[in-house]
Each structure stands twice: as C-alpha cells, then as structure tokens.
Structure 1
Amino acid sequence: MALTISTAELIGVFIESLAYGVYLMVFIQCIFVLRKRHSRPSDYLLGTAVSLFILITAHLFIDILRNMQAFTTDEAVPNYPTRYYDTFNTWQNILKSGLYVAVTLVSDAFILYRSFILWGRNYLICAFPFLLFIADIVIGVLWVYTLNFVVLGDNVFADALSVRVKIFSSITLAMNVICTLLIAFKILKIQKAVAHFVKGSGDQVSRLVPIMIESGSVYSALLVVMIVTYTSKSAAIFIILNPMSPIIVSSFSSVIVRVGMGLSHGDSYRANGTVSSSRNNQWMPRVGSRPFNSDLQIYSPSFPHGGVQVQLQQSVHTRADVLPDDLENDTSPHAKRSFLAV
C-alpha cells in the first residue's frame, strides 16, 4: 500500500513530538549552563537559544493543531484527512513553513557567525558562505510566498514549490558543509601552529571528529535524505520534514551547551583544567608546567587570512572542579594559571 501524505504527516508529527522532548532537555541544559556561568553569557549564544526555542515550540503547536483539524473536523467527509493535507494554501501550512524556514535561517546564521569569529572576523573567507545565506533567505521567502498559489489538486512534487524547496535545502546543505570545513580547517591550522609550543595537543585527526559533528554534519546528512526523498516524489518527505526543526535545534543547541561549558570553540571557557580568556574564539590544550614568575612567550604565526596570536604564559596546574572566574579570583600560590589566547 502506497504511503499517503496524510499518513506521512501523522507519522511525522509523532516523530516530531519525540524529537521535541529530546530538544527540550537540551534546551534546559543550555539555559542552565549559560545562567551558571559567572561571567555574562554571550548575547549571540543566549539570543540563538531563546529564538530557536520560541520558533520550534510554535512549529510543534501548529503541527499538532493541523493534525487535530485533519482527523477530527468533518469526520463525515470521506478521506477528509487526505483532502485537508492536500490543501497547501491554508494559513496553518503557510505559518508552519515560515517557521521551518526561520529555524533554518537562525541555525545557518549561527554556524556562519561561528566560522566568521574563528577566522578572526575575516570578511573575505566568509564572503561566499554569506552570499549563500542571503540566497537562502530569498529562496525561503519565495517558498513561503509560493504556498499561497498552490490549490487543491496541484502536484507539489512537480510545480514551482518543489523547485524552491529543493533549492532552499541544497543551498542550506552547501553552506553548512562549507562552514563545517572552514571551522575544521582553521582549528587544524591552529593546532599545527602551536604543536611545538605546547604538550598534549593530542591526535589532530581525532579532534576533528567532534568538530565536524557539532558543526552540523548530522543536520547535513538529514538534508541530503530530505532532498533525495523530495526528488523521488515520495510522501515520506513529510516524515522527514516535520521533525527536521527540533532535530536542527537539538543539534545547534548542543553546540551552545558545549561552547558555554567550555568544551567547544566560540567563547571563553574552561577545558581540561585550563583557562582561556580571549574574547574571540579560542582553543585550549593542556600545556606544560613552568615557574609562576616565568616570562611571557608570544608566538605569532603568519596566517595570511586572519591574525592569530598564541600567548603562552604562567603555565600551571589547577583543580578541574573550579570555574574560570573562580580561577581568575584565586590568588593562592597553589593555583597557578595557564592562558592560551587564539
């Protein structure tokens, strides 16, 4: 039996509800981490987290509302759920699509900004991803606008709507892949630059694995599946499209949690018992112990596309259970410090 759009929508909302439950736990942890920090959390971290929560919650609410209307309104009409879901120009469906586009754009802006910061605010390096982002905004608006002209009986897999959905997903995929590679390449470049100055830099290749994951590789994989499913004209696209928003948000909220906890790149943080105090994006391996009153060493590698300065000073051990701000206020002779600003 062929999968119908109404059945796919029903399954998609069920999976979306499960995905939202997972996201809700990630969001609570995200807010908890940002509030527990002694220093004021970065505006872009907090703003992204709250904006995504509002958008994803509204998206789920609209999907549940549509589900209820499809299966409880006009029950006397034969195959009413199929007729309901085949009508794409309703305000509920337009709002739902608009919320999905908004979630995607906020998430894309987040990873684009992280790439921009990591590359030392280099406009040239991030110019192409930024142009893709602008194109994504335009196509996303056209996608939502086109829904007004899709009437009952139109083939949504063959008209202008289909083209714009696939273009929007393809541009988003390209931008996420490019930004992920930019982040991975820059961090690998920094690791190589300081390899002779620090100890315990670790396996560079193994460090790239969580970087690739946190930068949206899971989301990119889902976008590929979504494009392939839509191209094959399968109703299964709605099983993937409905839970896509909470999956996107869970992926990027987990990055915010890691940044806020000091386990990722993008903000001041604690990692492996050491402290990084630069305002811009930083990376902090464990460095070797040196006398507390030793002189400052500065290494400035010649990077043509962004100024990166590595400062190694007063390298010491510290307790792993204290926060960065606690260390900065600790004047005990037993609590020496290590700073690496990138």
Structure 2
Amino acid sequence: MSSDTGARMSYAAALVSSVTYGIYALLAFNTFERLIYTRERWTLSRKVLLAYTTLLFVSETIYFIAGCKWSAIEFVDAPVDPAVFAGQLSSKIALLKDTMYTVTIWIADSFILYRAFIILGGRYLAFIPLVTYVGSLATGIGLLIQTAKPGAVFGQANVINFGTPFWSLSVATNVLSTILIAGRLLYRRRLLRDTTGYGATQLRMYTSTVAIFAESAALYAICAIVYIPMFAKNIPLQYPFSSLLGSMSSIAPTLIILRMAKGKAVTREWSNVPMNDLTPSVHTDARSYDQCEDVKRASDGDLSEIQVMTRV
C-alpha cells in the first residue's frame, strides 16, 4: 500500500472509532440504567445481562482508550511514517488494543450463543454454532500469539493465516445463530398465528424484520463479511472497517440486552409456549380477549404472558 493511502486510512479508522464508540457508550449507559433502576426483582437473568453489559463496556472502553493512545503516537510522536507505524503489531499498546479487540468479539459471540440457547429452548441445534465459537477461540489465541512476536506487521502470512479463520469462524457463529434465531421466531409466529388466532399486529414486535435483525446481531456479521476479504488481501480500507467491526461487536449485543431490559426481546417462555395448551375454543370470540386485562397486557408487552389465556 502507498504511504499516503495507509496514513489516510489509519486516520479514518480513528475517526470511525470515535464516532461509533460514542454511539456505543450512549447505548451502554441506557442499558445500565434500564437494568439497575427497575422495580423488578434481581433475577438470575437480570444479573447475567448486567454482567455481560459490564464486561462489554470494560473491554470496549479499554480498546478505545488504547486506540486513542495508539493514534496519538502514530500521528504525533512516531519517528517513522504513520503508514509504517500503523502496520506494527508487537508494541505493548498495540498488544493491549488487539487483545481487547479480540476479547470483545469473544464476549459478544458468547452472548449471541446464549440468546440462541434461550430462543431455541436448549435444543441440540444450538450446539452447532458452539462448535464454530470454540474454533474462533482457538484461532483468536493463535492470532494474538502471532501479533505478539517481535516485528509482526499487517500483511504477514502467519498473521493472515490466523486472522482470516478467526473472523470467519466468528462470522460463522453469528450467521448460524442468526439463521437459528430467525427460523425459530418465524416458526413460532406461524404456529401462534394459526393456533391462537393472534394477528400480525400483536406478533410484529417479535417477528418483524427489524426485530429479527436486532435479535440476531446481524449488524456485526454484515460488517465482518465486508471486512474479512480486505484483511486477507491487505487492502488499506481494512483499517476503518476494522474500527467499525470492533465497535459493532459491542453495539450489536448491547442492542439485544437493551431490548431485553425494555421487555421487547423474545423470552424463553414466549419461544416455548406449548401449542397444545392453547385450545381453539379459548379464541373463538376475539372480542372477549380485548375485554380481558391480562390478554391486553400480553398484546402490548411480553407475549410470554400468552399463557394466561389458557386460564380465561
């Protein structure tokens, strides 16, 4: 890559990181507020969500601070050309930045796996993306080892040989989880519509394109799919996309956690409503449902409460 192009792309990466971290920070603080300042009791699920939010915030913040320090050295203090400095990987600040980058992806991928297990109700299909996740752990460790070697730079064969499968397996984890989550939501929508008489309006919050997109962390997967070929070919445009990908790895799961904190995300109960308990006789008169306060609350809030209809 040319010196000017590399320097410009590295500068663009710093700008992208600053903007996207600001977006992430707003989402994270909103999520903290929703999880902490609520009247509901401290359930295990709520504690897990708070733990994930905290871990993501810590790792993403350390990555951002290290990236800011890296940019300051690159454009102000570095005695070499910024494009040359941008490709160096083995300095202490670069190792900290890359480690937090990788750890954030691991945390985010583990959360999307957790969501897949929740929505699939612990079915064996959820173990399929688990295999690719274990692979991303192994290749991620290998990537960090390679970048820690003295003189390691972007574009080296050993770095590419570990980096490409690492991001590919991470994307595979997200794509497989996306397919399983989206398939489950659409399948449940059809069953609930056919069995309970629920219309599109009541189900849209959980099964619309936007809802499925948010529930499956597709935002991160799309960015990664664009980034991987650039990394493998050592294209300068990889720098801003790398920063974008680092932020999306935190933004995507935080959006899911925020939806869960607001009661808009799919719950285990909604995903596993027993269809044989929802008899057609209960739903023969749509007007009687509107008169039932419990069903109104289920329509406006969490469809996990659809079980109350068995007691109408």
TM-score w.r.t. structure 2 length? 0.82
Counterpart of 1:5? 6
SS at match of 1:121: coil
Q: Which residue of 1 aligns with 2:30?
A: 29
Q: Which has the larger radius of gyration?
A: 1
| Residue 270 (structure 2) pairs with residue 282 (structure 1) | yes
Residue deviations 1:18-77, cap 9 Å, x none? 111111111111112112332225222111111111111101100111111122225xx4
Match of 1:228 in 2: 229
Q: Output aligned runs, 1:68-79, within 5 Å.
A: 68-73=72-77, 77=79, 79=80
Correspondence for 2:147: 147
Query: Secondary structure at the residue paired with 2:193?
Result: coil
- Aligned equivalent of 2:99: 98
Counterpart AA for 2:308: F
Give yes or no for the alignment of 1:136 onto 2:136: yes
Q: Is the 8 A contact 2:121 2:271 kept in 1?
A: no
Q: CA distance change for structure 1 residues 238 and 281 in 2, over 3 Å: closer, same or farther?
A: farther
Distance 1:205 1:181 in 2: 18
Distance 1:212 1:5 in 2: 37
Match 1:173 to one of 171, 174, 191: 171
- Among 50, 54, 63, which residue is 2:54 paired with? 50
* Pair 1:200–1:137, CA change in 2 (3 A): same
For these two proteins, the number of residue pairs brought into alignment is 290
- Consecutive unaligned residues of structure 1, counting only runs of 5 or more, are 267-279, 285-297, 302-308, 325-336
Contact 2:108 2:249 (8 Å CA) reproduced? yes
- 1:241-256 aligned at under 5 Å gives the runs 241-256=242-257
Residues 1:299 and 1:142: Cα distance change in structure 2 (over 3 Å): closer
1:38 aligns to 2:39 (yes or no): yes
Q: Give the deviation of 1:158 after TM superposition.
A: 4.3
Q: Give the TM-score taking structure 1 as reference length.
A: 0.75
Cα distance, 1:251 vs. partner?
A: 1.8
Amino acid in the other structure paired with 2:58: I
**Structure 1 residue 143: Cα displacement:** 0.6
- Decide which structure has greater helix share: 2
Letter in 2 for 1:339: V
Give the Cα separation in 2 of the matches to 1:283 and 1:127.
17
Structure 2 residues not aligned, in runs of 5+: none
Amino acid at match of 1:66: W
Paired-residue identity, %: 16
Tell me the equivalent position of 1:334: none
Instruction: Out of 187-196 and 25-34, give the one that drifted further.
Output: 187-196
Q: How does 1:115-134 map to 2 (within 5 A)?
A: 115-122=116-123, 124-134=124-134
Is structure 2 residue 3 aligned with structure 1 residue 15? Answer: no
Could you tell me which amino acid in structure 1 is paired with residue 175 of structure 2? V
CA contact (8 A) 1:115 1:179 kept: yes
Decide whether the 8 Å contact of 1:184 with 1:211 is kept in 2: no
AA matched with 2:210: P
The one-character-per-residue Cα deviations of 1:116-138 (angstroms, maximum 9, x if unpaired) are 1211212x212221111111111
- 8 Å contact 1:16–1:244 — kept in the other structure? no
Give, in whole Å, the separation in 2 of the partners of 1:340 and 1:86. 61
Residue 308 of structure 2 corresponds to residue 339 of structure 1: yes
Question: 1:71 and 1:24 mapped to 2: Cα distance?
Answer: 25
Q: Secondary structure at the match of 1:200?
A: coil
Distance 1:12 1:127 in 2: 35
What is the Cα-based RMSD across aligned positions, in Å? 3.1
